Structure 1
């Protein structure tokens, strides 16, 4: 017998419910009552994780990948730049530049399968948050997704600090990050693609697929596109890649491994843990429900015309008119 009232506030459902528990704290913790009868809690729109409203303002950590709040009975891993990663996302996290190369090859093959081969050899580097922010400041142009940029397609010559070797984990902290300077030389319109380290393979791949589309557009001579057109079509490619990965991994319950090369290989065979499949659905949901103008509205408009006219015709129309077809 529940008294239920649900009011949608932005991305969360704010509910008043009789008798429930805070999943953030533990299954045994009773959410504080109001008026001795009603209980207030909030629910994540995808994971349906229930928690007290106070946890949104009391500094309770969220996983930087899946956005779930850190439960009291378990500890998330602390990355050296202050981000926190849950253990499930850590399981397939890509931690250094070498680990990411098999995934990069996969996405290059994905683009070739769409008859969109990137002819030039564009370096892919995994970097820390500070290095990504510094590289972003060194770029003269570009659109960036706030509050945090997790990938970047560079066109300027500069020196970037890249992660050389997978860091060691001590307790619940990432330690001994080894980096080296990498000098970018402008041999074509794109000098490098940078991706934030420490994200799960599927999220790393979707960011990489997005940045690869920026590179493809620049190398093919697409110029002066508005943010909603360019970011929107890049999100369409990221969404297509995530969908292909979800379909490829839908037939197996085999658990994924922690190394990116192993998880990359397993994805082609359909091997994917139940959580990783759910994580893919979450990243797809994030793209589809993004509320920003450039990334969210841009994706939905681009996805609609790609479904109607096909990717090839849509890109040709953008090249000729710098707009989407009607």
Structure 2
């Protein structure tokens, strides 16, 4: 510091008490007790709220979520700390996430807009259909939409004869083409002690093949924006099948489906009239917007996160397919891109 101090004048810049220890810390030209400095400047874990420990080299080492920037001790990646199945944030020690009956965890912020049963999803289903109609891509067949548990989704996937491409740790949505019986969630589950599901009412639903698509299944318990993006993705699979598109390569079919999911999220986040960004009916738009209510700041942030997931996906089919497909749509427009896909089976360049 280049100065001489009276012992009683050499004080900590934080607590203002004299520093009598042989070792102290500096921030700029200001001295601190080591304990005061640590309290002020040493990062704390957002999960356990403790000081993040130093590694074997004496350096502070932590992990951070790439979108939410939640900082946490490296040990939490291996100690069973739950993550929200929607936003992927780790469960802080002072919070208690909701435990769904299939083992998934849901944070309270995501629970706030979560869709829990098939009836709750009906308005969103209509919203997606109107979104497609606004793009001049009306889905002319009535396709059942069912919210299901993870196990029912996995069973339905095994019952499909057509190849299904997926890369996430779990499948969240399916567009079915085979006749089978699916267990759907009839009523919103009831949560009891410990934020756990204590009552879940389901019923079997027999799928009958009247066209190329028998049903769309979506995993229950996800926020409205995530449920909607999954539904927009699966609806594009249905639209392709119903409009005579031949079997496409995974990167083309999944890519264009991700483009539609991304477009729907865009319309929900940035349009004052919700998903009716593509619709010319202002009265219809304002009516739907009022039904949705004002979106919370967290829900808008959540929508940005779901877009980020699509944009940063590293898989060949979903990630690379989306980026090539999105570039084609931005350059040539959606209709010309779809016409080119139908003619050649690939994206235009």
- Bin of the TM-score, shorter chain as denominator length: 0.7 to 0.9
Q: 1:123 to 1:212 in 2, by over 3 A?
A: same
In the other structure, the counterpart of 2:122 is 101
In the other structure, the counterpart of 1:302 is 325
> Under a length normalisation based on structure 1, what TM-score does the superposition of the two structures give?
0.88
1:250 and 1:277 in contact (8 A); partners too: no
- Structural mapping, 1:174-253, within 5 Å: 174-248=197-271
Residue 143 in 1 paired to residue 165 in 2? yes
1:249 and 1:267 in contact (8 A); partners too: no
CA drift of 1:40 comes to 0.7
Unaligned 5+ runs, structure 2:
1-25, 28-40, 275-286
Q: 1:268 to 1:295 in 2, by over 3 A?
A: farther
CA drift of 1:266 comes to 5.3
CA drift of 1:36 comes to 7.8
In the other structure, the counterpart of 2:13 is none
Residue 152 in 1 paired to residue 206 in 2? no
- Structural mapping, 1:43-54, within 5 Å: 43-54=64-75
Larger Rg: 2
CA drift of 1:145 comes to 2.9
Could you give the per-residue CA deviations for residues 109-161 of structure 1, whole angstroms, max 9, x where no partner exists? 00000000000000000000000000000001121233210000000000000
Q: Find 1:110's aligned residue among 121, 124, 131.
A: 131
Could you give the per-residue CA deviations for residues 139-188 of structure 1, whole angstroms, max 9, x where no partner exists? 01121233210000000000000001111111311221110000000000
Aligned-partner SS, 1:234: helix
CA drift of 1:44 comes to 0.3
2:273 and 2:288 in contact (8 A); partners too: no
- Structural mapping, 1:43-82, within 5 Å: 43-82=64-103
Aligned-partner SS, 2:62: strand
Aligned-partner SS, 2:60: strand
The 2-side partners of 1:76 and 1:173 are apart by: 9
Task: Tell me the number of residue pairs that the alignment of Structure 1 and Structure 2 aligns.
Answer: 297
1:70 and 1:76 in contact (8 A); partners too: yes
The 2-side partners of 1:54 and 1:38 are apart by: 15
Q: Find 1:88's aligned residue among 106, 109, 126.
A: 109
Q: 1:269 to 1:70 in 2, by over 3 A?
A: closer
The 2-side partners of 1:134 and 1:188 are apart by: 21
1:248 and 1:268 in contact (8 A); partners too: no
The 1-side partners of 2:226 and 2:70 are apart by: 20
Aligned-partner SS, 2:321: helix
2:273 and 2:289 in contact (8 A); partners too: no
The 2-side partners of 1:52 and 1:239 are apart by: 33
Two-structure CA RMSD over aligned residues (Å): 1.8
Aligned-partner SS, 2:121: helix
Q: 1:166 to 1:265 in 2, by over 3 A?
A: farther
CA drift of 1:33 comes to 1.9
Tell which deviates more after alignment, 267-276 or 60-69.
267-276
Structure with the larger strand share:
1
Residue 164 in 1 paired to residue 186 in 2? yes
Aligned-partner SS, 1:237: helix
Q: 1:116 to 1:198 in 2, by over 3 A?
A: same
Aligned-partner SS, 1:224: coil
Residue 39 in 1 paired to residue 60 in 2? yes
- Structural mapping, 1:264-303, within 5 Å: 271-303=294-326
1:248 and 1:269 in contact (8 A); partners too: no
